[in-house]
Amino acid sequence: MFDKILAAIDGSPTSEKVLAAAVDLAGRYQAELIALSVAEVPEVVAMVDEVDEMRQSAEDYFRQIGEAAVAYARSRGVRLRSVVLRGHAANEILRFAEAEAVQLIVLGRQGHSRVARFFLGSTTDRVSEHSHCTVMIVK
């Protein structure tokens, strides 16, 4: 049913559940599994050096999460490729999933406060609304 699965992870407790579900599905379907993390940097910062430092710090953090995800999947007999991108999470997840011809996106149901989600929408809402493929939302 699914030949290629994308797990969107960010190191949160919910993303641990996302990874567990995606690894289980990849094992069951013998699917290719990709863990994607997106390093988002705030739009408003004081100096260019501050932006570079924040980006590097975020990318290092997500690389560590990706390495842990690879080890977790390997311990369950599943091969996983970890990818870290920069940008807006929803946009990057959607773009990457389409470019990679992913058939299932697994992501967590969390995000902004109720007020922010009302005005901005959550990553999960945007991905589920605009995805070209099936989306599994993990609570």
Range of the domain at 112: 4-138
Instruction: Give percent of the chain with pLDDT exceeding 90.
Output: 68
Question: Cβ distance 84 to 10 under 8 Å?
Answer: no
Residue range 52-86, pLDDT digits in tens = 777 788 888 999 999 999 999 999 999 999 999 98
The owner of tokens 């091969």 is 79
Please report, for the domain that includes residue 64, its CATH number: 3.40.50.620
pLDDT (tens digit, 9 = 90+) per residue, 6-28?
999 999 899 999 999 999 999 99
The closest of 9, 4, 5 to 123, measured between CA atoms, is: 9
- Verdict on whether the full-model pTM lies above 0.85: yes
Helix (H/G/I), strand (E/B), else coil: 107: strand
Count structural domains, the chain: 1
Q: What is the mean pLDDT of the chain?
A: 88
